[in-house]
Structures are given as structure tokens and as C-alpha cells.
Structure 1
Amino acid sequence: MSGSDDERRVDFFDDLDILPDTTSDESGPGWGEGVEDDSTAWLMSERPPHWD
């Protein structure tokens, strides 16, 4: 029979991704929006007129 659990060797894998940082439904395409890498143009168009 084997030894106790305290003596058992356990290998950890640091490069194993169990869950992603963000899921696909948390992004624009998950909500049915187009894929945009840069939102600067949108932010500039939403700028209040009194800021000019």
C-alpha cells in the first residue's frame, strides 16, 4: 500500500489555462457588435459639444 497523502508527490502545471481572463460573451462580438480594436473614434464622436 502507498504512503500517506502528506508524502505523495503532486506536479503543478503553471502554463495550464483553466479559465480565460475574459469570456467571449463579455466582448463586443458576444453582444452582437462588430469587432473594433480601437474605440478612439467612437469616444471622439460621443464627446460633449461644450468640451470643444
Structure 2
Amino acid sequence: MNRVEPPAAPEDDRPVDLTGDEFLLPEQTSDDTDRGWGERSDTNDERLWEDRPPHWG
């Protein structure tokens, strides 16, 4: 005789403990960073500020 497993509870019905001080979700995911997109994380902002034209003040 085959044993029938009960269906798994949907994700919406899963209990979640909200009593701790931990954050449920990070403010920024790894996919939302330069590294997540495969880009380099170093910037050249400092060089651009030093090389700005004189009329920029």
C-alpha cells in the first residue's frame, strides 16, 4: 500500500516569529549592488572631483 503524504502548508500560512530585534529583510540585497551586477566596486569619484574644470568653482 502506498503512503500518501499530506500537502505542505503554503508559504503564506507558515508561522513567523516577530518578537526578536533582528531585521527580517536586509535594507539592500546582494543583487542590488555593483558586485551583484558583476561590476567593479571601486570608484574614481575622487579623481573626477580633482579633475573638474576651473569654471565649476
Shorter-chain TM range is 0.3 to 0.5
What TM-score results when the alignment is normalised by the length of structure 1? 0.44
